[in-house]
Amino acid sequence: MRTRHAFGAAVALTWLACPQTAWADAGGLSFWLPGIFGSLAAAPAVPGWSTATIYLHLQSSAGGEKDFIRGGNVVAGLNARADVVVQGFTYTFATPLLGAQAAVSILGAPGNVDVGIDATLTGPRGNTISGSRSDNRWTFADVFYQGTLKWNQGVHNEMVYVTGNIPSGTYDVNRLANLSFGFVAVDAGAGYTYLNPKTGNEFSIVGGLTYSFENTALQYQNGIDFHVDWAASHFLSKNMLVGLGGYYFQQLTGDSGPGARLGDFKGGVLGIGPQVGFIFPLNEGYQGYLNLRGFRDFAAENRPEGWTAWLTFAVSPAPPEHAASKPITRKY
């Protein structure tokens, strides 16, 4: 119980790294950043306030044979990098809701984005423009929110969630580099975590759907996206885990609107990578959690390919000392 709660309160916060280079499906990437959910995604946590600080590095590129919509233009040869520091806050309720443990989270993120293209093929008025172009700036992401309900039955844990964004004022249709989206999106789904403290084995899987509203500045609306994140880990001790994680992303319906000049432009990608996590006590009834994980894209369709690295430091309430001697029987 102590190990399950310890990691459940910390690792569940890794979804907070939602900000990305904010290209939507129009630019080859989506509102949903694959790999957000990781180990113990559906495991209940210790009630109270938790915080997470996440450094996220994203690197992606696409060759000149691939075209993308960027800022109302059709561009070719895309290279991008983003470095973002995410700060998130989560409150986990002690009183059950519908027999489940409820939690709400909110976050914001400043970051640096660098985007380069080899050529702009067509401009907003149909003019042909050639030559490379780049854009670099420090900016802010949208504000993100999430709500979860989690149920526990021994080694089995289930979850439903809903998440979305509140657009910030930093989106600029004339810039290549954005952290905010320029539109509203809502994502919802469900997940499952198997956690056996006796063997130290854990497996989590979360799937969901994203619906994006129109970007009125571009007259472009992304299609509906489907995604699955998974992770498998083993506890080497009650304070350390190692494992693998991955994701599958596929756009189900095509993009639409006058700005969707590349047609349906359905995207998809697979990814996989390692992870390691450490938990340690802090003062006054809190504990810290440090997690490092990375993912490599492959089999990308209508998306740039690249890799992401996540470094998470989370602080959450420590589980009661006496919980370690009790069996996992509590149900939320």
Judge if pTM exceeds 0.85. Answer: no
What pLDDT, on a 0 to 100 scale, did the predictor assign at position 324? 40
pLDDT in tens, 199-210: 999 999 999 999
pLDDT over threshold 80, residue 180: yes
Number of domains composing the chain: 1
The answer to whether residue 164 is domain-embedded is: yes
- Dump the DSSP string for 233-290: EEEEETTEEEEEEEEEEEE-S--BSTT-TTTT---EEEEEEEEEEEEEE-STTEEEEE
Query: Any bridge partners for residue 237, and if so which?
Result: 240
pLDDT-derived band at 166 (thresholds 50, 70, 90) equals very high
The answer to whether residue 42 is domain-embedded is: yes
What pLDDT, on a 0 to 100 scale, did the predictor assign at position 7? 43
The answer to whether residue 326 is domain-embedded is: no
Q: Average model confidence (pLDDT) for the chain?
A: 80
Q: In the chain, helix, strand, coil percent, each to 5? A: 5, 60, 35
The answer to whether residue 61 is domain-embedded is: yes
pLDDT over threshold 70, residue 156: yes
User: 8: part of which helix (H) or strand (E)?
Assistant: helix 2-11
What pLDDT, on a 0 to 100 scale, did the predictor assign at position 9? 42
Segments forming the whole domain that contains residue 169:
2-321
The answer to whether residue 330 is domain-embedded is: no
CATH number (domain holding residue 276):
2.40.160.40
| Angstrom distance (rounded) from CA 205 to CA 189 | 11
pLDDT-derived band at 241 (thresholds 50, 70, 90) equals very high
Question: Encoding tokens for residue 212?
Answer: 């994006």
Q: Which residues of 144-166 are buried (b: 16+ CB within 10 A; e: fewer)?
A: bebebbbbbeebebebbbebbbe
The answer to whether residue 331 is domain-embedded is: no
Of 1-15, 37-51, 249-263, the one with minimum mean pLDDT is: 1-15
The answer to whether residue 329 is domain-embedded is: no
